[in-house]
Amino acid sequence: MILRVKNISDIGGEVKAPPSKSYSHRAVILASLARGTSRLYDMLYSEDTFASIRICKALGAKITKNEGYLEVTGTGGKLHNSCDGPIDLANSGTTLRLMTSVSALSDNEVILTGDESLQTRPMGLLIDALKPLGIEVNSLKNNEKAPILIKPGFYGGETNIMGNVSSQFISSILISSPLSKHGVGLYVLQEFKSKPYVDMTLEIMGKFGVKLNKSRHLKHETCNKEYQTCRIDEFKITKQDYVACDYTVEGDYSSASYLLALIAIHGGKAKIKNLFRNSKQGDKYILNILQKMGATVIYGEDYVEIASNGNLKAIDVDLSNAPDLLITVAVLAALAEGTTNITGVAHARVKETDRIDTTCRELEKLGCRLEEHEDGMSITGGVSSGIVDSHGDHRLAMAFSLIGLKHDIEITDGEVFDVSFPNFIESMAKLGFELELVE
């Protein structure tokens, strides 16, 4: 379907940010591993989080959606796969990565697969990191990608993993380690990208009763031929249980970036509720970015107010800890005055798409002048009307719709926002930006 602008009127107002996708995934997984029954409030129900719910049910958790909360009776760490064949995770890369380690806790084999896009996601680094822990993981196509076969058995021990590819690999090991036979020592080597996502994982693990020790130091190590001294983040996770709790999911700064950018681009004022000042989400960085580009931001304890005159200026920005903001910032740059330099997002090439490449190609369709780099792009403001393709990427569809504030735009395969923000059209409409899907 095609996503396009239906009407623009009286931009501004008040709207609630959708629940965090990252926290929703982690909450349902940890509740499913815990002893007892948890109630998860303000959960995000989207295509991606449904994938996590499906596999947690398949591995033995009892999950019931009630009015206002999701009830999860956990397995106490005793997992059993009830599926005869592969478990379909659709397009959820988060579910695939987090649950690959968790699946080794099952007392029988688990096969994880998904759609065509999911089967392009590299998994080799995680597979290699799991082997020293006694986990047997095999790519059934021998290409280090899904379908992935995980055999039962998680002995524990020590392992290391590079920190510059996907923080979800690190979170995957951390989440499953307390339930291993002997605990885990995990060493994250070299540059630690998207670290706030790991901080989120540690925070919610604590809510479900798990404690671990973490330290950072320099250590002589032959972890890479180009380096004799490596920075190492060390995590020590002893054997322990997750305990059920009641947990409320906070608002999602990634999804809220579209609501905030709407005001920044068009001009006006808005209040976005359910965004917490003390959030550990890396994508909270969008507030700093918008301020630097010319918007005014006021921080409340559980809300953000934004005002703008619609005149944005170019900036230099490192998105190494907030890669999911890449496409939003690229669109802001395309509508700003001057040249914006975006760096630090080489790891965005292994998301739903190669987000650096697809963003550049689609902006070029709109006449945007840019240079693509291995870890980002340089964008000179100025675009025209046109038709772009989402490439099946929810973030591209939502971010590019904002160009419709200034120019006619149509996004093919535009309905994919359901992956992370099912109420995207309704939320944008509350701020006066009416979008529609047409055949």
Which residues are known catalytic residues?
324
Ranges assigned E (strand) in 275-358:
296-299, 303-308, 316-318, 339-343
Task: Please state, in angstroms and rounded to a whole number, the distance separating the CA atoms of residues 321 and 25.
Answer: 19
Task: Please state, in angstroms and rounded to a whole number, the distance separating the CA atoms of residues 334 and 342.
Answer: 12
Task: Please state, in angstroms and rounded to a whole number, the distance separating the CA atoms of residues 370 and 387.
Answer: 18
Task: Please state, in angstroms and rounded to a whole number, the distance separating the CA atoms of residues 335 and 89.
Answer: 36
- CA angle, 414 as apex, 346 and 351 as ends, to 5°? 20
Task: Please state, in angstroms and rounded to a whole number, the distance separating the CA atoms of residues 38 and 46.
Answer: 20
- Side-chain-side CA neighbours of residue 373 (13 Å): 12
User: Scanning the structure block, which residue is given the tokens 């107002």?
Assistant: 13
Strand order across the beta sheet in which 316-318 lies:
316-318, 339-343, 376-380, 369-373
H helices of 34-161, in order, are 47-58, 93-102, 124-130
Residues with Cβ within 8 Å of residue 363, at least 6 apart in sequence: 330, 334, 370, 379, 383
DSSP for residue 86? P
Strands 376-380 and 369-373: antiparallel
Based on its alpha-carbon atoms, the radius of gyration of the chain, rounded to whole angstroms, reads 21
Residue 185, classified by CB atoms within 10 Å of its CB into exposed (0-12), middle (13-18) or buried (19+), is middle
